[in-house]
Amino acid sequence: KKKQLILATHVVDNERFECKTDECKITAALFRQKLQISYDDIVLLYAGKVENVKNPAIITETFLLAQLNHNVHLVIVGNGVLEKELKDRYAQHLGIHFMDFQNQLLMPSVYEMADVFVLSSQSETWGLSVNEAMANGKAIIVSNQCGCAIDLVENGENGYMFNAVSVTDLKNKMQLIFTN
């Protein structure tokens, strides 16, 4: 019934994605340890479906082209049709790591292990994962094809927006965020 409907689009419970508890922080540290990422290293995180429309391949390709310091790691969290291809292609690269899909209860710890969250979708109505990462205090790199980009990201303040089909633009934004 109409009186039972409540409009609540594109929101997350910010407190739920903050990592305030010791358990959350310990789990984040264990994720890093399992991936052999030291406490002082920097983590760029993608969390979502590993499929063409989400475009995680542009992140892995650009990560290598950006030639960031050896202490910067890329962590891809999720499963999907591109998973095997990406894992096979980057298996030998020590700076690129893969984790399976994580239950929503563990996502605050996943975000906590990261320094920067990237969403590279070629088509995304909003991008709630950006809200979640921001609730956890993370800097953002988001494609201009994500509905949230223009509303949530202020270039140079809390992250950067990049052209979804431009490796060069994403590379420049990665270099900017890791040198600033």
Q: Measured in Å, how far apart are the chain's first and last C-alpha atoms?
A: 51
Cβ atoms 132, 111 nearer than 8 A: yes
d(CA 9, CA 126): 9
Q: What are the pLDDT digits (tens) for 126-137?
A: 999 999 999 999
Q: Is the pLDDT of residue 60 over 80?
A: yes
**Where does the pLDDT of residue 5 fall: very low under 50, low under 70, confident under 90, or very high at 90 and above?**
confident
For residue 177, what pLDDT is reported?
A: 92
Is 179 exposed, middle or buried (CB count within 10 Å of its CB: 0-12, 13-18, 19+)? exposed
d(CA 96, CA 45): 10
73-97 CB burial, b ≥16 within 10 A, e <16:
bbbbbbbbebbeebeeebeeeebbb
Q: Is the pLDDT of residue 9 over 80?
A: no
d(CA 130, CA 168): 22
pLDDT averaged over every residue in the chain: 95
d(CA 170, CA 159): 12
Task: Report, in this order, helix, strand and coil percent for the chain, each rounded to 5.
Answer: 40, 20, 40
- Is 6 in a helix, a strand, or coil? coil
Q: Which residue has the tokens 């633009």?
A: 169
Is 41 exposed, middle or buried (CB count within 10 Å of its CB: 0-12, 13-18, 19+)? middle
User: What integer is the mean pLDDT of 89-116?
Assistant: 97
User: What integer is the mean pLDDT of 99-125?
Assistant: 97
d(CA 162, CA 58): 12
**Where does the pLDDT of residue 74 fall: very low under 50, low under 70, confident under 90, or very high at 90 and above?**
very high
For residue 15, what pLDDT is reported?
A: 93
**Where does the pLDDT of residue 11 fall: very low under 50, low under 70, confident under 90, or very high at 90 and above?**
confident
Q: What are the pLDDT digits (tens) for 37-57?
A: 999 999 999 999 999 999 999
Cβ atoms 174, 44 nearer than 8 A: yes
User: What integer is the mean pLDDT of 7-34?
Assistant: 93
pTM of the predicted model as reported, rounded to 2 decimal places: 0.93
